[in-house]
């Protein structure tokens, strides 16, 4: 083999090695897509909660966006409550959730908890949702604008619900009903009945997490280290930074320009 041939072959091998290494150290290498058994695609900013444990505390994605995959469901935990993720729309930045315990075996709506979204959590209700206001186990009949749930009748007590803003503003239910639960559903689902609407779920939109804005602006992917309790930024060059992939010199020049 002549020196010229050896030189070009060496360059080719070096290029292949560097390309392979670059592919493994990009944010896409740190944040691989995955599929739950039910076919749901888990991609950034979501991550597989069931793939992480004490010996692998780092994950890539937003805090609280870990999805626990099982054979039947893909579970997202919000405010200590469990919701089945049936769809994630990465183009429109939305996901569809179903309250696992929202409907009993008879198809009767029996929701146990209200969903509270914290202000600093990057999820918010969608414009596709409307709200059902349930009043359970009432000893006195509610105003006529309420719909009664005959499937939940018990010992002469009834349960009711109002759709959207049809609920009277001055409704005094304390001491009359055992519990009030507000449930989001997709507006179109009500055409198939209340139980069906709850079974089809509701939509939440997500925004860029506050702690991830600088990282994503620098073309990195945000993550977190549970063992050190600190945010991470996975960068294209294979490094892991705290908040941004920009070098200090780049940040300094940007600051001067501003």
Concatenate the DSSP letters of all residues of 123-191 into one string: EEE-TTEEEEEEEEEESSPPPTTSEEEEEEEETTEEEEEEEGGGS-TT---BTTBSEEEEEEEEGGGGG
In a domain, 119, yes or no: yes
- Average pLDDT rounded to a whole number, residues 95-116: 84
In a domain, 171, yes or no: yes
Q: Is residue 229 pLDDT above 50, yes or no?
A: yes
Q: What whole-number percentage of the chain has pLDDT above 70? A: 82
Question: How many domains does one find in the chain?
Answer: 1
Owning domain of residue 157: 73-207
pTM: 0.79
In a domain, 187, yes or no: yes
Q: What whole-number percentage of the chain has pLDDT above 90? A: 45
pLDDT digits (tens, 9 = 90+) for 44-97: 999 998 887 656 678 889 999 999 998 789 999 998 889 999 999 999 999 999
In a domain, 215, yes or no: no
Of 27, 25, 90, 78, which Cα lies nearest the Cα of 223?
27
Query: What confidence tier does 21 reach under pLDDT thresholds 50, 70, 90?
Result: very low
In a domain, 128, yes or no: yes
Q: Is residue 207 pLDDT above 60, yes or no?
A: yes
How confident is the model at residue 56, as a pLDDT?
A: 64
* Mean model confidence pLDDT for the chain: 82
How confident is the model at residue 108, as a pLDDT?
A: 85
In a domain, 40, yes or no: no
How confident is the model at residue 186, as a pLDDT?
A: 93
In a domain, 88, yes or no: yes
């Amino acid at each position: 083999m002549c020196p010229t041939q050896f030189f070009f072959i060496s360059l080719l091998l070096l290029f292949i090695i560097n390309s392979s290494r670059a592919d493994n150290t990009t944010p896409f290498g740190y944040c691989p897509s995955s599929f739950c058994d039910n076919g749901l695609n888990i991609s950034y900013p979501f991550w597989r909660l069931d793939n992480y444990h004490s010996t692998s505390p780092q994950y890539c994605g937003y805090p609280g966006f870990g999805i626990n995959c099982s054979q039947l469901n893909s579970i997202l935990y919000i405010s200590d409550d469990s919701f089945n993720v049936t769809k994630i729309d990465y183009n429109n930045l939305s996901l569809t959730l179903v309250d696992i315990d929202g409907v009993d075996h008879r198809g009767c709506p029996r929701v146990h908890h209200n969903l509270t979204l914290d202000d600093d959590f990057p999820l918010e209700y969608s414009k596709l949702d409307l709200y059902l206001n349930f009043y359970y186990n009432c000893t006195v009949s509610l105003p006529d604008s309420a719909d009664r749930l005959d499937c939940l009748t018990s010992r002469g007590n009834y349960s009711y619900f109002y759709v959207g803003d049809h609920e009277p503003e001055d409704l005094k239910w304390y001491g009359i009903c055992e519990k009030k639960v507000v449930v989001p559903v997709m507006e179109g689902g009500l055409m198939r009945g209340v139980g069906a609407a709850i079974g089809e779920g509701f939509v939440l939109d997500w925004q860029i997490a506050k702690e991830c804005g600088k990282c994503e602006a620098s073309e990195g992917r945000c993550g977190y280290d549970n063992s050190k309790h600190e945010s991470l930024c996975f960068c294209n060059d294979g490094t892991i930074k705290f908040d941004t992939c920009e070098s200090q010199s780049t940040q300094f020049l940007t600051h001067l320009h501003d």
